[in-house]
């Protein structure tokens, strides 16, 4: 696997990752159904993400290097919402889930965020999304969880090391 920063030419790779996500995976990522979003809208969103200026957000993309050509398999990114605070997102195509890709992506993204001066990564996660909770539990940072019905708001405290005994579940 190779992980690198998202580049402007990665729009097609982002579309490919989205195309290889099931309805359930898309729902878990976007917290709403996105099955009927047209290809033009998907492409526009991928181009917007691929061309995000660094002061607005950053991301990393993973590729499977064992195939004949590089296969895009996952992406993690953040968007700055206020100074020192950014919203995070992670997507891994279905046929590569449970291979540690989400964990590797999020670890690299947190390193990128720390070097950019981000102190907190925030997100909204479904409580039943066991995969992302496992990924978060691999991070070396304190995580605050605020349950709200079927979802939880989380804050990854990039300036606070995790107490090994503290888990998000």
pLDDT at 165: 46
Mean pLDDT computed over 97-106: 90
CA 46, 48, 51, 54 torsion-angle sign: negative
pLDDT digits (tens, 9 = 90+) for 9-36: 999 999 888 776 766 665 465 554 556 6
Contact 74, 16 (CB under 8 A): no
Q: What is the pTM of this model?
A: 0.85
Strand partners, 2: 63
pLDDT digits (tens, 9 = 90+) for 38-79: 677 777 888 988 999 999 999 999 998 887 788 899 999 999
For the chain, domains (ranges, CATH) are: 2-161 (3.40.630.30)
Question: With 80 as the cut, is the pLDDT of residue 80 above it?
Answer: yes
pLDDT more than 70, % of the chain: 86
């Amino acid at each position: 696997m190779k992980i690198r920063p998202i580049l402007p030419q990665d729009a097609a790779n982002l579309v490919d990752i989205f195309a290889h996500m099931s309805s359930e995976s898309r729902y878990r990522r976007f917290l709403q159904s996105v099955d009927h979003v047209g290809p033009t809208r998907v492409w526009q969103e991928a181009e917007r993400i691929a061309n995000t200026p660094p002061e607005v957000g950053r991301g990393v993309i993973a590729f499977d290097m064992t195939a004949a050509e590089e296969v895009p398999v996952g992406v993690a990114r953040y968007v700055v919402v206020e100074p020192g605070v950014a919203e995070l997102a992670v997507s891994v195509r279905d046929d590569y889930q449970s291979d540690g890709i989400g964990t590797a992506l999020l670890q690299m993204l947190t390193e990128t965020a720390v070097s950019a001066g981000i102190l907190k990564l925030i997100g909204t996660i479904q409580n039943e999304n066991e995969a992302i909770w496992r990924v978060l539990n691999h991070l070396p940072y304190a995580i605050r969880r605020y349950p709200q019905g079927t979802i939880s708001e989380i804050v990854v405290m990039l300036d606070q090391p995790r107490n090994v005994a503290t888990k998000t579940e």
